[in-house]
Amino acid sequence: MKNDPKPDDRRDNVDRIQNNIDNTIANYRETKDLIKNVENSKDRQDLIAKNQRREQAVKGMREEIRDEAIDKKNGYK
């Protein structure tokens, strides 16, 4: 039995990445609201750190989506 790798299908990458961005932003906003109500200092700092990581993740995903959109426009050459 031969195990050939699946062909690289990138047609939905832009949509998938945009969905990930939308979800990450929604989680960021929820956490931002939650931070206001958290009394425990350590928990608050953990949530702030998590949101900082989310900001970096969104930045990276936006760069990636830009690259994918360009590649999609060029026919993934």
SS3 of residue 2 by DSSP: coil
> What percentage of residues in the chain have a pLDDT greater than 90?
68
- 66: Cβ–Cβ under 8 A, 6 or more apart, which residues? none
Tell me the pTM: 0.80
Looking at residue 77, what is its pLDDT?
63
Residue with tokens 């953990």: 46
Looking at residue 1, what is its pLDDT?
63
For 46-72, the pLDDT digits (tens) are 999 999 999 999 999 999 999 988 888
For 4-24, the pLDDT digits (tens) are 877 777 778 889 999 999 999
DSSP string covering 3-60 = -PPPP---TTHHHHHHHHHHHHHHHHHHHHHHHTT---HHHHHHHHHHHHHHHHHHHH
Please say if the pLDDT value at position 31 is more than 70. yes
